[in-house]
Amino acid sequence: MFNKKLNQLIFAVAVTAATAGTVSAGEQCMPIGGVGMPNFVPQTDGSFAIVAPLTGSVSNAAGKVTGQRVTETGLEMDMEHYFMTEKGGFMHTKDLGILTRVEGKKDQYMIEITYDIQPKSTRGVLNGYQGQFTSFGLVDLNGLQGLIPYSGEICRVNS
């Protein structure tokens, strides 16, 4: 049942990602979306590095946790990610991850991340795009893995 739901989600995201739109004559926007399967790699300082194959708009990502705070409901993480596409696109984001404990499931969290594309960090087919996108999913910090669908719209201003 899980695999069927995952396949339906991947299909829905792929259909969304395949349709690009233009907001105005000077701005070109495109949807961004897919599913990431992050693997968390513990570092000697207690933080995590992140590597992930992705489906959809980008093909892989690498990242790191740059700060971490315990909250009443879980954790907040300052993060950075580097995303690459199969068509030669690149973007760097600085992010906030909010992890909320799943009651009764040790080290499992719902995760919400807001990815902010850093100015002048895009290259290749993503050159000039800016904005932000989000993800919402589940992570298991004991098993050091997760499943995180991402979506949003990024735009490029045409000169």
Q: What percent of the chain has pLDDT over 70?
A: 84
Whole-number Å distance between alpha carbons of 94 and 109: 21
Q: What percent of the chain has pLDDT over 90?
A: 69
Is residue 12 over pLDDT 80? no
Task: Write down the pLDDT at residue 3.
Answer: 44
Q: What is the pLDDT of residues 91-141, one digit of tens each?
A: 999 999 999 999 999 999 999 999 999 999 999 999 999 999 999 999 998
- 123 part of a folded domain: yes
Tokens linked to 82: 């580097």
Task: Write down the pLDDT at residue 22.
Answer: 43
**Torsion angle, alpha carbons of 5, 6, 12, 14, to 10:** -160
Task: Write down the pLDDT at residue 18.
Answer: 40
Tokens linked to 22: 């233009």
- 125 part of a folded domain: yes
- 16 part of a folded domain: no
- 7 part of a folded domain: no
Average pLDDT of the chain, as a whole number = 85
Count of structural domains within the chain: 1
pLDDT level of residue 10 (50, 70, 90 thresholds): very low
Q: Which domain holds residue 114?
A: 35-152
- 86 part of a folded domain: yes
Task: Write down the pLDDT at residue 45.
Answer: 84
- Mean pLDDT highest for which of 16-20, 41-45, 125-129? 125-129
Which of 154, 130, 133 has the alpha carbon at shortest distance from 36? Answer: 133
- 159 part of a folded domain: no
Is residue 4 over pLDDT 50? no
- 100 part of a folded domain: yes
- 12 part of a folded domain: no
